[in-house]
């Protein structure tokens, strides 16, 4: 059921993008530092979205890597703490009064 729902959402998004590309087929002038380029509006929008997604991925990659490093450190600490608890449980109980 989850796969069908995700496939339906992906199909819906692709159809929306396709219809938007057909409606916005007029060429526009894109001015950048080295010159001017004439491209269809839909292509400019899709490329801008793609570039934004890639930049967002790269900017969040640093945070993701730091989080994974911290999780690995905490897992090592947990493992050593569990080992210490097991060692303490294995000690005999002595009563000295």
State the virtual CA torsion across 41, 24, 57, 30 in degrees, nearest 10: 10
Q: How confident is the model at residue 49 (pLDDT cuts 50, 70, 90)?
A: confident
pLDDT in tens, 51-76: 999 999 998 999 999 999 999 999 99
Confidence (pLDDT) at 24:
77
- What is the percent of the chain where pLDDT is above 90? 42
Cβ count within 10 A of residue 42: 19
Confidence (pLDDT) at 55:
94
Domain positions in the chain are: 2-90
pTM: 0.55
Q: What is the mean pLDDT of residues 38-48?
A: 86
């Amino acid at each position: 059921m989850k796969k069908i729902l995700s496939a339906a959402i992906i199909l819906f998004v692709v159809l929306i993008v396709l219809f938007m590309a057909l409606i916005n087929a007029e060429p526009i002038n894109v001015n950048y530092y080295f010159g001017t380029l004439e491209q269809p509006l839909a292509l400019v929008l899709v490329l801008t979205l793609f570039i934004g997604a890639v930049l967002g991925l790269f900017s969040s990659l640093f945070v993701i890597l730091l989080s994974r490093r911290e999780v690995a450190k905490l897992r090592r600490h947990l493992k050593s703490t569990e080992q210490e608890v097991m060692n303490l449980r294995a000690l005999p109980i002595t009563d000295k009064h």
